[in-house]
Amino acid sequence: MNENICLILKDQTVFFKSSEDMSELEDESIDVIITSPPYNRGKIYTSDTGESHDDRMDEDEYLSFLTKIWEE
Ligand SMILES: C[S@@+](CC[C@H](N)C(=O)[O-])C[C@H]1O[C@@H](n2cnc3c(N)ncnc32)[C@H](O)[C@@H]1O
């Protein structure tokens, strides 16, 4: 995903990028996250940037993908 695309509103910034790297967010700056991650059920996702998500990972790969994001 293109890491340089974001939309800055009055008091919000919307990033159009992968959640695997959220280094632009300061540590300890988030109170709560509500998310609906990919569920690895084989759904076909499309995006405006043309990036696609593999929704049929091996279980270990899928858990590693989610763990990386939860840790971030
Ligand atoms: C279960 S759907 C949730 C859809 C969302 N609730 C909505 O209404 O648009 C999972 C979404 O995560 C996106 N996605 C997949 N990999 C991602 C990643 N590394 N970072 C951010 N989003 C990702 C998929 O493209 C898909 O839109």
pLDDT of the chain, 72 residues: tens digit per residue? 455 688 999 988 888 888 888 888 898 988 988 999 999 999 988 777 677 888 999 999 999 999 999 988
Instruction: Return the pLDDT at 3.
Output: 53
Q: Chain centroid to CA 9: how far?
A: 20
Identify the residue whose C-alpha is closest to ligand 1 atom 20: 18
CA distances 49 to 14, 27, 33, Å, are 15, 28, 24
Following DSSP, what letter does each residue of 50-70 receive, concatenated?
---------HHHHHHHHHHHH
Torsion over CA: 60, 64, 65, 66 (sign): positive
Does any ligand 1 atom lie closer than 6 A to the CB of residue 3?
A: no
The residue whose CB lies within 8 Å of the most ligand 1 atoms, and thus the one to mutate among 23, 39, 45, is 45
47 Cα: distance to centroid of ligand 1 (angstroms): 9
Return the pLDDT at 1.
Answer: 45
The pTM (predicted TM-score) of the whole model is: 0.76
